[in-house]
Amino acid sequence: MSITQTDLTRINTFVFDVDGVLTDGLLYCFADGEQVRAFNIKDGFAIKHAISQGYRVAIISGKNEPGVRKRLSQLGIEDIFLGIEDKVDALEDYIYTQGIHPATVAYMGDDMPDFEVMQRCGLRACPADAADDIRAIATFVSTKNGGRGAVRELVEQVMKAQDTW
């Protein structure tokens, strides 16, 4: 599938998975049990800029780590759903309570837990290194890997298409 200008211009909401999208998918585990992920600063800038221009940004992730929540909050993201087992339910609840039309949502995921939820959004996006099944249904495949600027590339393209970058 390919992305069109119309796909980009109708987006007003970005929804992201964390591991493999906002991070490179690596998880560093220390002896004390702490788990550490690395976020890309350019992805963070794009998210903050999108929020400042009135776009909604939400996170739906299966993991629930305090450090992740803190980083996302620092970026100005208010709609953070961590520890989610059913991403479809989380997305549907979010768009219903916020009055968002699914066609205006860009969702970026990278692996099978994102498969069903991506299909309910107007723009299905993934990093270059996403699972094959995810790339097969994506309308936007970034040229960047997860945690390496994929989020920035999506946000920037959408905002440039709308003259808000």
Q: Which residues belong to the annotated binding site for substrate?
A: 19
Please state the residue numbers annotated as binding site for Mg(2+): 17, 110
Measure CA of the first residue to CA of the last residue in the chain; give whole Å. 25
Q: At a CB cut-off of 8 Å and minimum separation 6, what does 89 contact? A: none
**Annotated binding-site positions:** 17, 19, 110
What are the CA-CA distances from residue 141 to residues 34, 82, 110, 157 (Å)?
Answer: 32, 24, 10, 12
Q: Which residues have a Cβ under 8 Å from the Cβ of 58 and sit 6 or more positions away?
A: 13, 14, 15, 16, 77, 79, 80, 81, 94
